[in-house]
Structure 1
Amino acid sequence: MTDVFLQTTPFFLLIACGYGAARVGLFRGEAVVSLTKFVFYFALSAMLFNFASRLDVAEVFNIDLAAAYFIPTLVLYLVVAFAALRRGTGLAEAAIEAQCGVIGNVGFLGLPMLALLLGDRAAGPMLVMLSIDMIFFGSLVVMLIVGSRQGGANLALVGALVMGLLKNPMIVSISAGLAWSAWNLPMPGPGREFLVMLGAAATPCALFAIGASLADKSAERVSVALWLSFVKLVAHPLAVGLVAWYGFGLPWQVVGVMIAASAMPTAGNVYIVAQHYRVAPMRASSTILVSTLIGVATLTAVIDFVN
C-alpha cells in the first residue's frame, strides 16, 4: 500500500498545484479553459491516437469487455436516477445525479495515471470504457434533460448529438488510431516522436487543469455528494469487477484495469453539462469536489488491490 501511495502521490500533488495556483489568482478561469482546450484537442488526443494505433483492433472490439462494463454501469445509472426521483427531483436532475454516480474522470485522470502505473495493458480496456461513457452515457444525459423539457426527443436533437460525437476529438483520435492499426500503416519515426512528445504533456497539464477547475467548486448538498461519491468510488468499481470476473470470466489483468478505471472520481464534464443546461450544477460541482478528495485514499487502495 505504501509503495502505491508513493506512486500515486505525484498525480495528486499536480492536482493540488493547480488548485493552489487558481486559489491565489495565478491561474484564473480563462487560463483554465485554455489549458483544458489544449489537453482536450491536442495533448490527450495525441496520447489516445498513439495508444490506439499500437493496439490490436480485436482487443478493442471485445464484446464481452464492453458488456461487462456497460451492464453494471447502466444498472447503477438507473438505481441512482430512481433514488433521485424518489427524493422528489425532476427527471433532468435525476439524470445529472446518475451521471455523477457512474461517469468517472477516465480521460483526464484515469488514462494518464493507469497507463503509467499499470502499463500498456491498461490502454485497451480504458479506450473501450471511455468510448461507452462518451457515446452512450454522454448522449443519454442530454437526451433525458432535453426530452424532459420538450416532452420527448426529436430528430433535431439526435442529429445534434451525432454531430457532437463526430466533432469530439477523443472519439476522432481513438477512431483514427484504430483505423491506422487495422490497416497496419507504418508510422514514420518523427511522427511517432511527435505523438509521444505531445502526448507526454497530457498528464501534467490535465492534472493541473483538474486542480485549477476544483478551485471554484463548492461543497453544497454534501449528503447527496457523499452518496454519489460512494456510488462512484465504491459501488461502481465493485459492480464492474464482479460482473467482469464472475459474469464474463475476463482475465484478471483486464478486470483489474476495469476496476481501477471505474474507481476514478466523477468527471469534470458532468459539471459542464449541468452548467450548460442549468440543471443542478452545484450538485455536480459538490460531487466532483468530494469524490476527488476522497479518491486520494480510495484510488490508492484500489490500485494496490488490482496491481
Structure 2
Amino acid sequence: MLAIFLKTLPFFGVIALGYLAARRQFFNEAATAALTKFVFYFALSAMVFRFSANLNLADVLDWTFVFAYLAATMLVYILATGVGMWRGLPVAEVAVESQCAVIGNVGFLGLPMLALLMGEAAVGPVMMVLAVDILVFGSLIVILITGSRDGRISLRVLRTVGRGLVTNPMVMAIAAGFIWSGLHIPIPDPMNEFLAILGGAATPGALFAIGASLANKSAERMSVAGWLSVCKLILHPLAVAVAVLFVFPVEAFAGAVMIAAASLPVAGNTYIIAQHYGTAPARVSATILVSTAFSILTVSLVIGQFGP
C-alpha cells in the first residue's frame, strides 16, 4: 500500500501544483481553459492515437469486459438515481448526480496515470472503460436532461448526442488509431516521434489542468458531494470488483485495470455538461473537489488491493 501511495503521490503532486498556481492567480481561468483545450484536443489525442494505432482491436475488444463494467456501473448509477428520486429531485438533476456517481476522470487522470503505474498493457482496458463512459453514459445524460425539458426524446436530441460523439477528439483518436492498426500500416518514425513528443505533454498538462480547474470549484452542498463521492470512490470500484471477481469471467489483469479505473474521482466534463445545461453545477463542482481530494488515498488503496 505504501509503495503504491508513493508512486501515485507525484501525480497528485502535479495536481496540487496546478491548484496552488491557480489559487495564487499565477494561472488564471483563461490560462486554465487554454491548457485544458490543448491537452484535450492535441496532447491526449496524440497519446490515445499512438496507443490505439499500436493495438489490435480484436485483442482489446472483449465483450465480457464491456458487459462486466457496464453492469457494475449501471448498478451504482441506478442506486444514485433512486436516491435522487427519493429526495424529490427533477429528472435533469438526478441525471447529473447519477453521472457524478459513476463517471471518473479516466481521460485526463486515468489514462496517463494507469499507463505508467500498471504498464502500457493497461492502455487497452482503460480505453474500453473510456469508450463505455463516453458512448453510453455521456450520451445518456444529454438524452435525460434534454428529454426531460422537452417532454420527449426528439430527433433533435439524438442529433445533439451524435454530433457530440463525432466531435469528441477522444472518440475520434481511438477510432482513427484502431482504423490505422486495422490497415496494418506501420507508423513512420518521424510521425511516431511527433506523436510521442506531443503525447508526452498529456500527463503533466492534464494533471496541472485538473489542479488549476479545482481552484475555481466551490464547496457548496457538501452533504450531497460527500454521498456522491462515496458512490464514486467506494461503491463504484466495489461493484466493479464484485462483477469481475465473482460474476463475469474477466481476465485477471484487465479486471484489475477496470477496478482501478472505477476508483478514479469524478470527471471534470460532468461539470462542463452541468454548467452548459444550467443543472446543479455547484453540486457537481463540490463533488469533483471532494472526490479528487480523497482519491489521493482511495486510488492507492484500490490499486494496492486489486492491482497486479
The answer to whether the aligner puts 1:63 opposite 2:89 as a matched pair is no
The answer to whether the aligner puts 1:203 opposite 2:203 as a matched pair is yes
Are the aligned partners of 1:32 and 1:209 in contact in 2 as well (CA < 8 Å)?
A: yes
RMSD across aligned C-alpha pairs, in angstroms? 0.8
Q: 1-side partners of 2:237 and 2:196: how far apart? A: 30
Counterpart of 1:25?
A: 25
Deviation at 1:156, TM superposition (A): 1.2
Counterpart of 2:144?
A: 144
How does 1:222-237 map onto structure 2 within 5 Å? Answer: 222-237=222-237
Are the aligned partners of 1:245 and 1:251 in contact in 2 as well (CA < 8 Å)?
A: no
Q: 1-side partners of 2:15 and 2:215: how far apart? A: 10
Deviation at 1:60, TM superposition (A): 2.4
Secondary structure of 2:265's counterpart equals: coil
Deviation at 1:42, TM superposition (A): 0.3
Counterpart of 1:134?
A: 134
Counterpart of 2:244?
A: 244
Secondary structure of 2:67's counterpart equals: helix
Counterpart of 1:285?
A: 285
The answer to whether the aligner puts 1:86 opposite 2:90 as a matched pair is no
How does 1:153-232 map onto structure 2 within 5 Å? Answer: 153-232=153-232
Secondary structure of 1:249's counterpart equals: coil
| Letter of the 1:271 counterpart | Y
Q: 2-side partners of 1:303 and 1:189: how far apart? A: 35
Q: 2-side partners of 1:167 and 1:198: how far apart? A: 20
- Identical aligned residues as a percent: 52
1:33-61 deviation line (CA, Å, top 9, x unaligned): 10000000000000100110111211222
Runs of 5+ consecutive residues of structure 2 not aligned to the other structure? none
Question: Which of 249-258 and 285-294 deviates more?
Answer: 249-258
Q: 2-side partners of 1:66 and 1:173: how far apart? A: 19
Q: 1-side partners of 2:115 and 2:222: how far apart? A: 32
1:137-190 deviation line (CA, Å, top 9, x unaligned): 111101111111110110011012111111110000000001111111111111
Counterpart of 1:301?
A: 301
1:227-284 deviation line (CA, Å, top 9, x unaligned): 1101101111111121122211112111100000000000000111111111011110
| Letter of the 2:279 counterpart | V
Q: 2-side partners of 1:80 and 1:109: how far apart? A: 23
- State the TM-score, normalizing by the size of structure 1: 0.98
Q: Which runs of 4+ in 1 moved over 2 A?
A: none
- State the TM-score, normalizing by the size of structure 2: 0.98
Question: Which of 52-61 and 15-24 deviates more?
Answer: 52-61
The answer to whether the aligner puts 1:258 opposite 2:258 as a matched pair is yes
Deviation at 1:114, TM superposition (A): 0.3
Q: 2-side partners of 1:33 and 1:44: how far apart? A: 15
Secondary structure of 2:273's counterpart equals: helix
Counterpart of 2:5?
A: 5
Deviation at 1:78, TM superposition (A): 1.4
Secondary structure of 1:26's counterpart equals: coil
Matched pairs, number = 307
Question: Which of 248-257 and 107-116 deviates more?
Answer: 248-257
Deviation at 1:121, TM superposition (A): 1.5
Q: 1-side partners of 2:304 and 2:71: how far apart? A: 25
1:91-132 deviation line (CA, Å, top 9, x unaligned): 100000000000000000000000000001211111111011
Runs of 5+ consecutive residues of structure 1 not aligned to the other structure? none
Counterpart of 1:106?
A: 106
